[in-house]
Amino acid sequence: SQQGEEDPQALSIQEGENATMNCSYKTSINNLQWYRQNSGRGLVHLILIRSNEREKHSGRLRVTLDTSKKSSSLLITASRAADTASYFCATDHRDNYGQNFVFGPGTRLSVLP
Amino acid sequence: DTEVTQTPKHLVMGMTNKKSLKCEQHMGHRAMYWYKQKAKKPPELMFVYSYEKLSINESVPSRFSPECPNSSLLNLHLHALQPEDSALYLCASSQVGLAGYNEQFFGPGTRLTVL
């Protein structure tokens, strides 16, 4: 079942610019996590934000969470070519089948040198 | 050691073969996960083990059989697979959360091709 949806599906920016990716979800969550994946290999955890938190920072990353709108955003500032990857949000939530952990479809980010 | 290792990196198998994927972590994590990921799609959760007990089985066909021999190892036994099972299989581990899922550490995956 698809819980999170990312927007945009693909984003292309110049090095040094900021990149913003959005994630929407449907049900109440315990937490929302952002992951990065390079070239179809393993995922790397970026940030976990809990349902009672509104904003978190980690280096050049800023994540916001609006539970009233069931949405989150990931901002990457001063982007670098090495930030080129797919970015996924994932929600920890309870549905009809119990506790579940579902990834959104992802945003493919290309940072051009 | 903050690494999750997976073997093999690549696997090609016929529909009548039996093979196993292996995953190992030495971070003391007591939750381990199997995911399936098709090209240009997000990972889909297959199984979750918590304290070596299967806690979540996302209605995965019985041709996939997970096993957790101890707290560091996770196997996925494959038998009579179909070509549509070709995908990247990802293993992950995490601390067991008091409520919900914690930050997961992923292995590099096994790219499986079923002929």
Write the pLDDT tens digit of every residue in B55-94. Answer: 877 789 999 999 999 999 999 999 999 999 999 999 999 9
Residue A25 is given by DSSP the state -
Query: Which of the four pLDDT bands, split at 50, 70 and 90, describes residue A8?
Result: confident
Q: Other CB atoms closer than 10 Å to residue B72's CB: what's the count?
A: 16
Q: Which residues on B lie below 8 Å from A48 (Cβ)?
A: 102-103
Tokens of A19: 């990149």
Contact with chain B for residue A95, Cβ under 8 A: no
Q: Which residues on A lie below 8 Å from B101 (Cβ)?
A: 30-31, 33, 92, 99, 101
Average pLDDT of the residues of chain A: 91
User: Which of the two residues, A7 and B109, has the higher pLDDT score?
Assistant: B109
pLDDT at position B55, please? 80
What's the gap in Å between the CA of B102 and the closest CA on chain A? 8
Residue B82 to residue B63: CA distance in whole angstroms: 9
Residue B108 to residue A42: CA distance in whole angstroms: 4
